[in-house]
Structures are given as structure tokens and as C-alpha cells.
Structure 1
Amino acid sequence: MDLTETSPAERAAVLNAIGDELAAAAGELIPEAMAETGLAEARLAGELKRTVVQLRMFADVCAEGDFLDVRIDEADPDFVLGPRPDLRRFNLPVGPVLVFAASNFPFAFSVAGGDTASALAAGCPVVLKAHPGHPRLSALTAEKVRSALVRAGRPADTFEVVYDQDAAVELLRDDRIAAAAFTGSFKAGRLLAGIAAARERPIPFYGELGSVNPVVVTPGALAERADAIASGFVASVSGSAGQLCTKPGFLFLPQDHGLARELGAAAKAVPGHPLLHEGIAAAYAGRRAAVLAAPGVSVLAEGSVEAGQDGWSRAAPTLVEVGLDDLRAQRDALLDEAFGPLSIVVRYDPDRPEALLDALAELFPGALTATVHRGVGEHHDWLRRLVAVLRERVGRLLFDGWPTGVAVTPAMQHGGPYPATTAPATTSVGTAAIRRFLRPVTFQNCPPELLPAALRDDNPWRVPQRRAVAGASLNWGNHSA
């Protein structure tokens, strides 16, 4: 269904209707999610709330109309480079979007998650590939979305769901699909990205492929709050059984950190948590075994992966430690993402900060996040250089916190350089996510009666219009002093 002529207010009404429908159905949705994912009720209730808030945030984006980026250059016979025609530019929806749902966020990155919300906000119909880890929840959520669309005066087929992987791959090849979004494994994401690129008419593929999210602790931070760093790190690694793309995969500590016992004890105190499905359990067990077998690795908390009688495999946190030189030597075994509650502590020599900077630049080409814990008042030169190295390799740079927990807010950046994502200049969280599903078009000397509503002088949609008035070019450059 073509939504190109749908006004911003109408799109906002659609998104608010979906949010209302999901909020009202919490009593149905959360128990189904618990049954299919093993995630706790409190975690799922918070995630459903986040999903509703995200929809309402994009509703406000629509209502404001800034995302259309309307620019009008008035016809100008005195333009400094010669007569200028009437030029009017705005953003159109790219067309139908194929979304591949994630397993680890059955609400926020699934049927009605951020990719769906931002695509609908842009005016794009959505076809969603449901994740096999929660098919019943996907069907129930899709029912609520389609009901909300009808209630808001839009056709139900604005949003469709497919469940078969082969059918989704064929859709990715279908010339009617104009863009695709994916959250999942590196292997699957690379395969799908290749299909999107190999089409006769290649399309944008916005893939989030995983991340290891390094954390660096300075000597000053360690001296001030070692216990808080140890407990915060273990909580971030073990939350949701480590099945989060922002889990800190590497913690860089000064070599004489003295936290081995505290880290091990904190990890051993965390009970086993269900993994989302057996595919994740098998992949995690393989990665864990490879890390534990790598030369130079010492175990702080061995953890476990065990199959339960209830059908769920449960994982308890595994923490290991390695020196910086051994990390470099064993990069093939250690650097891949472990999607589960495993993380690697890396010792570095604070008297040789250049070695740490070189290793970070060499070993971490792209991640969703990086974190720096520093002491109060630390401003030494190598810390500034550390920030300069990390900001080139991540989408979000944190200070004195932990990367798990992605705020749903306009300034959030959830994306990063490859291999974290296939499109480092974009985000899948925050209001800028809508830009993935828009394309600009300019109308030159268009008759007024043929102009889209957003470009008309009477501005019936009441959207922001940025104008370059006739004669203004004669003064360009005079406001720069």
C-alpha cells in the first residue's frame, strides 16, 4: 500500500494507535513472550513499555514534520551563478521495507520494534520476517499491529508477516522491496547483505551484525571505585544471560588490578539463566569452549552451559583473563563475539599506554559501543588520545557507565563501523533511524497544482519549510565572520 501521500499527522495517528494496542494487550503479550523466550516478566514488561514509547516517539517525529527536510529555493533571475530555477526538495519514503526480527528483544527489535516503527514513520509499508524463536508471540503482536492500522484508517496489508526463511530470502530478491533491516548474527547478516547487493537493482541493507564493546578502566578509576567497577561489569555481562548486542565483551584493566577474586566471586554468585533457544545455546557453548582452550587464558569464573529438564539450556557467567600480548597472539580464538554471559578481562601496562592504544586500534575496527572509566579530574594526554582512537571505531562512546541499556531518545546512536553494522552512518535506535527509509527528490519548475503537499506554498501539512529567497545569494559569505 502506497503511503507516500499520507500526511505526517496521519502517520502519527497510525503509530500512536499501534502503541495503544500493544499497551492494552500487555496481559496477553507478556505471558506469551515468557513462555517462548525464557525471559523474566519484569524484563519483558520493561521491554514492551520501551516498544510503546518508541512508537510514540516516532509519532512525534511524524507530527513535527522535520524528517521531510523540505527545502525551497525560489526562482532567482539574479542568482550569482546565473538565473536559478524554482527548486523544491523533500524526502519521500523509499518503498516497501523488509525487516528481519531479532531473537533477543522479542518486542523492541521484533514485530513492532524500532525498524518497523521507523519504516512506518517514513511512510513505508513493512514486510516482517518473524524470528523462529518466538513465532506465537510474533503472530499475536502482528495481529495487534494490523488491528491498529485498520482502526487508524489504514489498510491492514500495510504490514505483513512471513515466517519461512526461504520465503524471506526470495522477498529480499523481489524488485518490489526497496530496503531491508536486520538484527542478528554476523554470518546470517553477511549472507543477506550479499543477496541485497547482488540484486539487479541493489538495495540498502541495514544490518546489525554483533559487537564486542570494549571497556577501558584507567588507573585513576580503579583506585577510586574498584569494587563498583567489578560489580557493575559482572551485572552488565550477565544481564539477560549476556544475550545483548551491547554486552561488554572485553574489560581492559591495569595489570596489577587486584580484582581477580572479586570478579570471580561476583560472577559465581549469578545463577544460570535460560538462553533464548537451542541455536543460541549451541553457538555460545562453542565460543565458550574455544575461549577456554586458548593459550594464555586463565579462568576467573568457569561458569557453565547446561540443558535443563524443562527444555531450556541455562548459562552461568564465564569470565577469563588474558594479557594484552596474548590477546594479540590469540586474536583468532578470542576476538569474535560470544553471544552469552562470557567476557574477557585484559591486563595492560599503564606505564606503556601506547601499547594499549595500538592494540585497540588494531583489534577493534568496529563496535556498537566503547566505554572509558576514568578517575575524577583525569585529563592526561593519553586519555585524550584513547578517546580519539575509540570514537573512530564505535557509534556510542560511554564514560563511567556500562553499555547495556540503550536509551530510546532522539540523540541515541545504535550502530557503528563494520563489522558491527553494514551501514555505519545510520542508527536503528533514536529518531535518526527514520532516515534509513527516506530518499530525497527535487521538483524543478513544477506547476503548483502538481506539487506534493509538503512543497506547496500554502503548506497544507504545516511542515517546516527552509527557504532560500531570491536575491539572498548576493550576500553569501557575509555572515561567516
Structure 2
Amino acid sequence: MAAEQVLIGGKWRDAEHNETFQAENPTRKQTLPEQYPISSWSDVDQALAASATAFQEMRQMAVEKLELFLNRFAELLDDNKQAICELANLESGLPISPRLLDVEMPRTINQLRLAAAAAVDGSWRAATIDTKSGIRSYFAGIGPVAVFGPNNFPLAFNGAAGGDFAAAIAAGNPVIVKANPAQPGTTRELVKLAQQAANESGLPSATVQLIYHMANEDGLKFVADHRLGAIGFTGSKTAGLKLKEAADKVGKPIYLEMSSVNPVVILPGALSERGEAIATEFQTSCLMAAGQFCTNPGLVILLDDDQTAKFIESSKKAFMQAPSGTLLTKGVEAGLTQNLKVLIDAGADVEVSGSGEGSSQGYTCPNTLLSTTAEKFLATSEVFQTEAFGNCSLIVKAKNLAEICAVIDSLEGNLTGTIYSDTAGGDDPAYDQVADHLRQKVGRLIDDKMPTGVAVSIAMNHGGPFPATGHPGFTSVGIPASIHRFAALQCFDNVRPNRLPRELQDESPNGKTWRLIDGAWTQDSIG
């Protein structure tokens, strides 16, 4: 069978390499028939050259074309959603309904439309004008962007349609899509629709390009190439840190989402008030999609008392009764098994390692609930923070509030941190202490709900201190804030009015763009 073609410079063609790989159906542990190429550096080099040319064209292009493209792409996704979700199901094992068709596809379409609105509105550029000094600045596209998509969100975070893609395009950058090897077919179909939308919208032919896979050394060379403006990556800490090292050596901006155990602190009053309900919420959040969310509650911290003992018993029962879900790949199964062993070898006790009827026959792992004491956790906190990506969690039992705060202080950066407290106010003094410690360890502080959901909101921060992400000042979800990762601040000093970009001219570009003029935000023209 001939290998699928790559998309470079607006043309689908054979990759310049004979080596191939195949995706798998994880629910059946079966290799799928399609062959996908592992590109040589020649493919990557040509994609970079074409992308650099496309960026020069896009710099001169009206933002209305970006709006047209993003909205048209959203329309095409909506028109073809059933077929795309069926293919994504085949490659990921995630259910077509409700997960892919009813949740993830609408989210993907909505992201594209939000990016379209932000692109044409232009307020994200933060145009700043000082009329007295003649200095004006704004954010503009940074250059070609490489987007590495993850395996756990084949649509909403896909390199060819997800949040990074939408943000990069809205900033005015072409995108080189690096498909996740677990879902190459899904990515191919998304790229086909993106190319159609680009052609219909009059964008450069190399606005969107696709490379399925490449050798590790070529991947490191890729992210360090001078023609690339920035990189967006969602995936494992191991791969992310290698790419970061290569990009950092040449000063290349790289935005990473890598690892997070998402601590959940449950205070005594909350357990007394609604312990059973919280246990149900915990089980649902932890085991949803076999725990393969970057915001999975992988660490639960409580006081060691009778209420906690009841909570653990309720959670054990829920974990044992629930079926184990399908893991995305053989590699996820191996990684989860290995990291559970690391935690157990470090001294974690196994509360549950089993699942209910109807468990997956594909790549899977028994639902696992571990526990340890705060004293043990603090002795080797780095080891106990090993992320076991999947359907498992670690409960930490502390003697007192001071130990809870000490455990929090020992944590690395995380995407989220949650605190459950009672509604009557009895936990408020403890909450204030815990929140003070937890706030600096997480990107998003949550009250009284599990962290699994990541709303597509203009106020959302899906980021956090290292190693949750590579930079605590940015988010991968939340337009327009997420666009800034793929933009550069450009300043114009004493530049003649007719030579300024339209966002920095005296006349308002469209009457809607917010600009900071002489210290005041306004949508009006100057004078």
C-alpha cells in the first residue's frame, strides 16, 4: 500500500523518504492499514521555506481574510463532523457520542470562530500610541508557527484545528502541522478542510502544511530553525523538555503544556457536609476518558481523620465498580504501568487496583487508587509527583493543616489547584491558609469542583508554572490571550503616518478596536 502524502507548499505529494508508520485502533489493539510517511529533513526544509514565503504575504494581507478563513474552516468542520469524528474514534478509542461529536467538535468549531472574531476586531494587538513622543507599538505575527498536537484531544487540541492552530492563524502566521502519530488520519482530514478554506479565502498556498512524523534529531533541528517564529507543543514532559532545550539554545519561543497532577485539597467541613457527593465527583473526574486529561485530579490532600477514612472507602467502592476505559495508545498503557510502579515502590499503598464489569478489552489499566502519608510524601516529594497519566490518583493524608501546606509548598507547578470547603464558613480560616500557599503553584485556582473541565472562555488560563507549561505567563486556551504566544511586539518611532500599520494610524481601523492612546483606552480615532 502506498504511503499517504504530505502537504507542502500547497501541494499533496509523496514524502522524500521510504520509511513509514501506522496508527492503531486502541480498543482492539489492531494496526490500521494506512501507511504514513516519516519525513526526511528535505521535507521539513521545504515546508519551512514555503512557510517563510507565506508569512511575507500574510504580513501584507487584510485581517478580513484571516476572519474569512477561520469562519470558513469552522463551516467545513461542521459540514463534515460525522465522518471526522468516526475516524477520530477509530484512532483514539474515544466515543463518537457524546465525547467527540457532541463535546469536542463543537468546542473546536467555537474556537475557530472566536479566533476569527478576535483577528478582525484587533483589540488583542494592544495598540499603544504616545502622540507626544511619536512612539507607537502593537503586537503582530511572529512568523511561521509549528504546532505539535497531543494524543488525548484529537480535535480540540489537534495541530491542524485546535487552540494553538487557531491562535497562530489569528495572529497572522502560517502553520506547519506536526501530526500526532496516534491520529494521523484525523489530522490529514482536518488539514484537507483547512487547505480548502485557505484556497477559498485567498490565503497563501502554504498557510497550512502537514508533516506526519520525523526522526527525533530532525524534530530538534526543526524547532531550532531560524525560519520558524514560534512553537506550540502539547504532550509528554520528556518530549517537551527535549524540544525546549533545542529551542532555548537559539532563543526560539516555545510554548509547552507538559505535566500536571492538579492537587485537590478537601477541607474537613466539606467532607462532613457532603463527603459522599465529593467522592462521586472525584471518581467521575478521575476516571472520565480513562483519566487521560491534562487536568485529571491526580493528587488529593486531606486531614487524616474519620471523615477522610469514610471518603476513601466511598472512593474505593466507586473505583472498583466503574469500568476501566480504553487508553489512547500502547505507549500510554506502558507509561501508566511504569509510573504506578514508581509510586508504589516509593511507598504508596494500593487502596484499589481493579475495575467493574465491561472494562475495556483494548489498551487499559485497572482503576487504581493509591494513598500515602504527608510525612512519606515530603520525604520524597519529587518521586511522589510522578504523573501517572490515566485512570488513577494518589491520596495524601496529613496530620494537620501545617502538613497540608507543607505538601503544597513541595509541589512543582501545576495547571490547576482545587479547594473544597463547607458552605457555612467553618472552613474559611483553613481555606485562607491553603489558598495562600496553593495560589502560586497553579495557573487556575478552583473552588468546590473538580478540575477536569477547561471552558473556552476569554478569562481562562490553561497554563501554569513549570513544568505544567514552559512559561507561566501564557495560556493555551482563552482567546484573545492565547494569541499573544504567537505574536511579537513591534515598535515604530517617528515613523511617517502613511507608513504605519493601520492599527497605529490616527484613524481607528474599524471603530471597534480598543487602543491605548496617551494613557486612555478608546475605540475612537485620534483627534
Give the alignment of 1:346-425 within 5 angstroms.
346-349=396-399, 352-362=400-410, 364-376=411-423, 377-378=425-426, 380-425=428-473
| Structure 2 residue aligned with 1:444 | 493
SS in structure 2 of the partner of residue 397 of structure 1: strand
CA distance in 2, matches of 1:309, 1:438: 44
- Is 1:50 the equivalent of 2:107? yes
Q: Which amino acid aligns with 1:137?
A: T
Shift in Å at residue 291 of structure 1?
A: 2.3
Q: State the match for 1:254 in structure 2.
A: 303
Match of 1:135 among 184, 188, 201: 184
Alignment equivalent of 2:288, drawn from 220, 225, 239: 239
Match in the other structure for 1:67: 124
- Find the counterpart in structure 1 of residue 240 from structure 2: 189
Q: Deviations over 1:403-451 (max 9, x none)?
A: 0010001000000001111111100000110011111112122122212
- Where 1:148 maps in the other structure, the secondary structure is helix
SS at match of 2:227: coil
Shift of 1:460: 4.2
Cα 1:109–1:343 shift into 2, 3 Å: same
CA 382–226 in structure 1, closer or farther in 2 if over 3 Å, else same: closer
Q: Which structure 2 residues correspond to residues 463-474 of structure 1 after superposition, within 5 A? A: 463-468=513-518
What code does the residue aligned with 1:189 have? G
Give the residue type in structure 2 aligned to 1:50: R
What's the secondary structure of 2:206's corresponding residue? helix
Alpha-carbon shift at residue 379 of structure 1 (Å) = 5.4
Query: Compared with structure 1, are the counterparts of its residues 466 and 335 closer, same or farther at alpha carbon in structure 2 (3 Å cutoff)?
Result: closer
**Contact in 1 for aligned 2:88/2:183 (Cα 8 Å):** yes
Match runs of 1:153-168 below 5 Å:
153-166=202-215, 167-168=218-219
Q: AA paired with 1:345?
A: I
Residue deviations 1:58-113 (CA, integer Å, cap 9, x gap): 112123210121122213xxxxxxxx3x1221111111111111110001111210
Q: Deviations over 1:271-325 (max 9, x none)?
A: 1211111111111111122223332x332211379xx997x31233100111111
- Report SS of the residue matched to 1:371: strand
Shift of 1:234: 0.8
- Which residue of structure 2 aligns with residue 149 of structure 1? 198
Counterpart of 2:208 in structure 1: which amino acid? F
Contact 2:220-2:242 within 8 A present in 1 as well: no
Amino acid at match of 1:190: L
* Number of equivalent positions: 452
* Cα drift, residue 136 of structure 1: 0.8
- Cα shift at 1:194: 0.2
Secondary structure of the residue that 2:294 maps to in structure 1? coil
Give the Cα–Cα distance (whole angstroms) in 2 for the partners of residues 332 and 412 of structure 1: 28
The answer on whether the counterparts of 1:32 and 1:136 sit within 8 Å (CA) in structure 2 is yes
Q: Partner of 2:339 in structure 1?
A: 287
Secondary structure of the residue aligned to 1:313 is: coil
- Residue deviations 1:243-272, cap 9 Å, x none? 111001111122121223211110011112
Residue 349 of structure 2 corresponds to 298
Decide whether the 8 Å contact of 1:368 with 1:414 is kept in 2.
yes
CA contact (8 A) 1:8 1:461 kept: no
Match of 1:118 among 167, 188, 193: 167
Q: Which has the higher contact order (CA 8 A, sep 6+)?
A: 1
Segments of 5+ residues of structure 1 without an aligned counterpart are: 76-83, 471-481
Is it true that 1:16 corresponds to 2:71 in the alignment? yes
- Superposition deviation, residue 184 in structure 1: 0.6
CA contact (8 A) 2:137 2:492 kept: yes
Classify the secondary structure of the residue corresponding to 2:70: helix
| Counterpart residue type for residue 319 of structure 2 | A
Partners of 1:18 and 1:69 in 2: CA distance: 26
* 8 Å Cα contact 2:233-2:257 kept in structure 1: yes
Question: Could you tell me whether the CA contact under 8 Å between 1:74 and 1:469 is conserved in 2?
Answer: no
* TM norm structure 1: 0.90
CA distance in 2, matches of 1:323, 1:165: 44
Q: Deviations over 1:212-264 (max 9, x none)?
A: 00000011000000101111101111011111110011111221212232111
Q: CA deviation at 1:38?
A: 0.5
Q: Secondary structure at the match of 1:157?
A: coil
Alignment-mate amino acid for residue 356 of structure 1 = I
- Structure 1 440/343 Cα, relative in aligned 2: closer, same or farther at 3 Å? same
* Among candidates 209, 212, 217, match of residue 266 of structure 2: 217
Residue 43 of structure 2 corresponds to: none
Identity level (%) = 34
**In 1, Cα distance between the equivalents of 2:156 and 2:519?**
44
3-state SS in 2 of match to 1:273: coil
Q: Which letter does structure 1 place at the counterpart of 2:431?
A: L
The reply to whether residue 38 of structure 1 matches residue 38 of structure 2 is: no
Distance in 2 between residues matched to 1:195 and 1:371, nearest whole Å? 34
* Residue from 319, 340, 348 that aligns with 1:267: 319
- 8 Å Cα contact 1:129-1:168 kept in structure 2: no
Segment drifting more, 272-281 vs 444-453: 444-453
Q: How do 1:90-105 and structure 2 match up within 5 A?
A: 90-105=138-153
* Mapped contact 1:119–1:125 kept (Cα < 8 A): yes
Aligned-partner Cα distance in 2 for 1:272–1:72: 57
Q: Deviations over 1:367-408 (max 9, x none)?
A: 000000000123543321211111101000000001001000
Structure 1 residues 338 and 319: alpha-carbon distance in aligned structure 2, compared to 1, 3 A threshold: same
